[in-house]
Structure formats: C-alpha cells, structure tokens
Amino acid sequence: MGGAVTAPAVATGETLVLAEWFGPTFQGEGPSAGTPASFVRTGGCNLGCVFCDTPYTWDGRRHDLRAELRRTPVADVVADVLAHDTPLIVITGGEPLLHQGQPGWDRLLNALSYHGRRIEVETNGTIVPSSLTSHRVAQFNCSPKLANSGEPTARRVVPAALAALAATNKAVFKFVAATPGDVDEAAAIVAAHRLPRDRVWIMPEGTSPATVLEASRAIADRVVAHRFRLTTRLHTLIWSDERRR
C-alpha cells in the first residue's frame, strides 16, 4: 500500500494523450458507416504506414507533436462528446489500444458505456485487447496493414493479437486496398489467420473523393470475386481530408 506521499489517483490518473475529439459527424468507414458519431483521437502509433491519413498523431519528423498532442482530462472529453448527443463514439488514433492500462482509458470506456453510448475502436490489429476493453467495446474495427503500408510483415501482422481480436466475436476486419493485388493479399491474411470471412471489409485507399473512387473502381471486381464486403470512406467523399470530420 502507498504511504502518505502517494497522490490520490484522481490527481494524476484520469487523463489520456489525445490529438483531438470532435463531432457530431458520421462514422465514415466500415459496417456502421452513416451512423451519427463522435470521435476521440488518441496520440501515438506503433506503426508508421506510408499512406497514413493522421500522421500528426505520431510522426514527429513531419509534425510538432508537442503542439498536436495534449494530455487531456478524460472528464472534459466525456462531457463534450456526450453533449454531441450521438449514439456512437469512435475511439481512433493513431493506435488507441496503446493507451490500455492507463486509468484514463478505463475511465473513458466506463463513462461512455455508463451513458449508453456504443463504443467502436479503430485498431491496427497488433495489440491484444484487455478484458475491460473487450467488455466495454461493442465493435473493434480492426485494420491489419498490407505490404502497401511500407511496414515489415513482422511488425504489421501479429498473430496473437489477430487471434485475440477474433476471439472477442466483436471484431470486423477492414483492409485498406488500392489494387486487386492488395485484395488478394488481404485474402491470404484472412486464410492464414482463419479470420471470419463474413466479417471482412475491403476499403479503398484515398484521402480525396477522386482517389477513393479510383481505388474503389480498381478493387471492386476482386472484392466481389472473394465475396468480401466493400466499404467506402463517406467522410472522405464528402469532406476530403479535412480534419475533425
């Protein structure tokens, strides 16, 4: 037990390093696309994909992370997103599961579910979810990265994490693809890790309406051929790469 010098948990614990939180908007990607949603975007990522659309959450070479990221009281974030009055809160990043184990993470999930919000977590599928995370999260939108990310296989495909996510029965698997070959590569990962095929979504790469449409046209036939599901990026079609949309 701590002695008299131990600070009470509330003084130090219930914060998270965040890039931004925003809403109301729509969930733009995956099975819940079109659902009114608010977003909490955490700081930091354990990967560095070449196509990343949020490098300001992790890339200190291109961005001033001391300006972009802030240690934020979770109570402030919860009050703001509840006021947006959306049924869905999407926690994204960066890689949000890096924040597991911090008191602020548990507090965020507990508070949002106490208030009846559906919680989705966008994750790159390389980190095992904790039992509290698995309990509170309604859906993991798990996006294993392909070779087109520029990351080596051993960093981007972590079998134990994929297995743990699949075992929650709350994961959908969303692969970012620009070419038919990317879709085949996704299919190989699905087969190798026995991911549930009826929960696989392919999403076009792109940060503008033109590039999202171009990628969609390039991959559509191959997505059908594999009998996978296709999602678009609604927010990108509408708002391009505007932040906080």
Ligand X SMILES: Nc1nc2[nH]cc(C(=O)O)c2c(=O)[nH]1
Q: Which residue in 23, 28, 43, 93 binds ligand SF4 (CB under 6 A)?
A: 93
Binding partner of 245, given ligand X, ligand SF4, none, CB within 5-8 angstroms per partner class: ligand X
- Which listed range, 25-33, 70-78, 128-136, 154-162, lies at the site for ligand X (CB under 6 A)? 25-33
Q: Which amino acid is at 108?
A: L
Residue whose CB is less far from ligand SF4, 98 or 218: 98
Q: How far is the CB of 132 from ligand SF4 (least distance, A)?
A: 22
51 annotated to bind ligand: yes
Residue 92 interacting with ligand X (CB under 6 A): yes
144 annotated to bind ligand: yes
Q: Which residue in 31, 33, 47, 73 binds ligand SF4 (CB under 6 A)?
A: 47
CB atoms within 10 A of CB 106: 19
Angle, alpha carbons 125-127-128 (nearest 5°): 105
Binding partner of 136, given ligand SF4, ligand X, none, CB within 5-8 angstroms per partner class: none
Residue 182 interacting with ligand SF4 (CB under 6 A): no
Binding partner of 232, given ligand SF4, ligand X, none, CB within 5-8 angstroms per partner class: none
Q: How many residues bind ligand SF4 (CB under 6 A)?
A: 10
Q: Residue 54 and residue 205: Cα distance in Å, rounded?
A: 13
92 annotated to bind ligand: yes
**Among candidate residues 43, 38, 67, 71, the one with its CA nearest the CA of residue 55:** 43
**Among candidate residues 148, 210, 132, the one with its CA nearest the CA of residue 180:** 148
Residue 26 interacting with ligand X (CB under 6 A): yes
170 annotated to bind ligand: no
Per the listing, tokens 């990962």 go with: 189
73 annotated to bind ligand: no
Q: Residue 140 and residue 31: Cα distance in Å, rounded?
A: 11
DSSP class per residue in 4-67 = TTSPPHHHHSSEEEEEEEEEEEE--BSTTTTSEEEEEEES--S---TT-S-GGGT-TTTS-HHH
- Which listed range, 45-53, 82-90, 183-191, 226-234, lies at the site for ligand SF4 (CB under 6 A)? 45-53
Q: How far is CA 25 from CA 21, 40, 235, 239, in A?
A: 11, 12, 8, 11
Q: What is the pairing mode between strands 36-42 and 88-92?
A: parallel
70 annotated to bind ligand: no
Positions that interact with ligand X (CB under 6 A): 25-29, 39, 54, 90, 92, 122, 235, 245
Positions that interact with ligand SF4 (CB under 6 A): 45, 47-49, 52, 54, 93-95, 124
